[in-house]
């Protein structure tokens, strides 16, 4: 019986070590789970990395995966959250022909209404940046598509939780 799947944001605090990405992603791979997006960055704590991984699984599966992530030696703590538990954003860049900006007035309206911004303009192209929810980005994509998008890229989700995570306390307790 297929258990009900939903989107979860997995947050993993880790030591900053070479090879840890392999070790964490292998846990998803061996269960044949596709990672929707992944972002690795510094965190609020010096020397501690933060993975933000988006996956679509059942809660039962989610719990088992968290256990297997947490038992990795260099993982400090792993959490999972639903969209309701987090404040999250994704961001993207569109590269579009500069002519359009002047010839198609509508593009300027689209930029304004979508709360995106122009990062750079030169003779050949201009670049629009947009941060927001995935559906907002998808809407902007659909709106710009008819004019011709030279390049498009969307970054992985980043998210902070509504509840505190208290990693610092955990690390202090160790010291």
Partner 1 sequence: MNTETITAKVKETITTTRISGSEAVVRSLIAEGVDILYGYPGGAIMPVYDELYKFQDEIQHVLTRHEQGATHSAQGYARISGKVGVAIATSGPGATNLITGIADAQIDSTPMVCITGQVGSHLLGTDAFQETDVISISTPVTKWNHQITKASEIPEVLAKAFYIAKSGRPGPVLIDITKDAQFEELDFTYKKCESIRSYKPVPETSNESLYAAAKLINEAKKPLVVWGQGVILGAAETEFKAVIEKAGLPSAWTILGASAIETNHPLNVGMVGMHGNYAPNVLTNECDLLIAIGMRFDDRVTGNLETYAKQAKVVHFEIDPAEVDKNVKTDVAVLGNSKETLKALLPLLNKNRHEEWHQKFKDLYKIELEKVINNDLYPVKEGLTMGEVVKEINKQSGGKAAIVSDVGQHQMIACRYAEFNETKSNITSGGLGTMGFALPAAIGAKMAAPNREVVAIIGDGGYQMTIQELGTIFQTKVPVKIVVLNNDFLGMVRQWQQLFFDKRYASTEIQNPDFVAIAKGYSINAKKVTKREELAAAVEEMMQCKEAYFLEVSVEKEANVFPMIPTGASVSDIRLS
Q: Counting contacts by CB under 8 A, is residue 123 touching partner 1?
A: no
> Strand 5-15 vs strand 75-81: parallel, antiparallel, or unpaired?
antiparallel
Residue with smaller CB distance to partner 1, 84 or 172? 172
Residue from 10, 57, 75, 111 touching partner 1 (CB under 8 A): that is 75
Pull the structure tokens for residue 7. 């989107």
Pseudo-torsion of CA 108, 109, 113, 116, nearest 10°? -10
Residue with smaller CB distance to partner 1, 67 or 148? 67
Q: Which DSSP state fits 2?
A: P
Q: Counting contacts by CB under 8 A, is residue 2 touching partner 1?
A: no
Residue from 5, 63, 117, 169 touching partner 1 (CB under 8 A): that is 63
Q: Counting contacts by CB under 8 A, is residue 44 touching partner 1?
A: no
Q: Counting contacts by CB under 8 A, is residue 153 touching partner 1?
A: no
* C-alpha distances out from residue 53 to 3, 9, 10, 23, 157, Å: 20, 6, 5, 14, 8
Pull the structure tokens for residue 36. 């929707």
Q: Which stretch binds partner 1 (CB under 8 A): 3-11, 36-44, 74-82, 100-108?
A: 74-82
């Amino acid at each position: 019986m297929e258990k009900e799947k939903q989107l979860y944001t997995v947050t993993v605090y880790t030591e900053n070590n070479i090879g840890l990405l392999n070790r964490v992603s292998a846990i998803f791979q061996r269960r044949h789970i596709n990672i929707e997006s992944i972002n690795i960055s510094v965190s609020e704590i010096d020397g501690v990395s933060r993975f933000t991984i988006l996956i679509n699984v059942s809660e039962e599966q989610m719990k088992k995966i968290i256990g297997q992530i947490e038992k990795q030696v260099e993982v400090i703590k792993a959490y999972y959250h639903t969209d309701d538990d987090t404040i999250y954003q994704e961001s993207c860049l569109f590269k579009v022909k500069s002519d359009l900006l002047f010839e198609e007035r509508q593009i300027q309206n689209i930029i304004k209404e979508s709360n995106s911004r122009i990062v750079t303009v030169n003779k050949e192209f201009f670049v629009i940046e947009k941060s927001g929810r995935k559906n907002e980005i998808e809407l902007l994509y659909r709106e710009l598509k008819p004019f011709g998008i030279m390049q498009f890229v969307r970054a992985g989700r980043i998210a902070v939780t509504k509840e505190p995570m208290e990693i610092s306390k955990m690390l202090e307790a160790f010291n």
